[in-house]
Amino acid sequence: MLDIEISSKLGKQLNFIIEIDRVKSILRKAKLFHEDRLENDAEHSWTICMMALILHEHADFAVNIDKVIKMLLVHDIIEIDTGDIFLYDVERLSITSEVEAVAAERIFGLLEDEQKRDLMALWTEFEQKETPEAKFAAAIDRLEPVLQNYLDEGGTWKANGITYEMVLEANQDIKNGSKEIWEFVIKLCDSAVKAGYLERG
C-alpha cells in the first residue's frame, strides 16, 4: 500500500487498485485457450468482458452491456481473499456465501463509501442473478470454462472426474441467460463425449 501523503479519496482509490492487482496471482482450474498453463482471475475477467461485448446480442433479453462489463470486472475480486472456488466442489460452494461477503466488505471497503456501495451493489446483483444483466453476466462467466475444457480435450473435467451430466447441471446459468448459447453448449458437450473429452455418468 502507498504510504506517502496523498488526498484521502485518491489515496484510497489507488490503494484499492494496488490491492486488486492481486487477482493476477489467483489461478483458476482451467487452462488458457492457446497456452498450456492455468488462467488467472485477471485474464478470466478480461476474456469474459470481451465475450460479453461480442456476444450480448444472443442474450434472451435486452441488457445494458456497460453494466454487464462492470459486473464481470468486479465479480471475482473477492477471490483475493477466498481463492478460486471450483464450480464442482459442492461442499465448498455450500459455505462460500458468508466467506465471500466478508471478503467483499474488506476489499470494497478500501474505497470511500459511495464507490464502495456502487461496487458492492454490482457484486451483489451478480451473485443474486435476478436482473437481465446479472443473468447474462453469469451465463458468460460459465461459458468460458466450458470452452476452455473442450479446447483442452477435457483437461479439468478429466482431472476431477466431472461427467457430462455434472457439466450441464452446474452450468444452468448459461441457460438462464441465453437459450441460443445454451443449445450451443449442449452440442459442444455432446461433441466432447464423442471425442472422449467428457464421460457420461
pTM: 0.94
Degrees (nearest 5) of the Cα angle 54, 151, 33? Answer: 55
**CA–CA gap between residue 155 and residue 167 (Å, rounded):** 13
pLDDT tens-digit map of 41-91 = 999 999 999 999 999 999 999 999 999 999 999 999 999 999 998 888 876
Weakest mean pLDDT among 19-28, 63-72, 87-96:
87-96
142 and 173 in contact (C-beta within 8 Å)?
yes
Instruction: Examine the pLDDT at 7 and tell me if it is beyond 80.
Output: no
CATH class of 8-18+37-195: mainly alpha
Give phi and psi for 29, each to the nearest 5: -90, -15
Tell me the sheet residues that pair with 38.
31
Those residues whose C-beta lies under 8 Å from the C-beta of residue 118, and which sit 6 or more positions away, are none
**Quick one: what percent of the chain has pLDDT higher than 90?**
87
Instruction: Examine the pLDDT at 5 and tell me if it is beyond 90.
Output: no
- In terms of Cβ atoms closer than 10 Å to its own Cβ (0-12, 13-18, 19+), residue 39 is buried
* pLDDT for residue 6: 66
* pLDDT for residue 86: 87
**CA–CA gap between residue 55 and residue 75 (Å, rounded):** 19
Domain map (residue ranges) of the chain: 8-18+37-195
In the chain, what's the furthest Cα-to-Cα distance? 62
Going by pLDDT thresholds of 50, 70 and 90, the confidence category of residue 121 is very high
How many residues would you count in the chain?
201
78 and 103 in contact (C-beta within 8 Å)?
yes
Q: Is residue 197 classed as helix, strand or coil in its secondary structure? A: coil
The conformation of residue 199, written as its DSSP 8-state character, comes to B
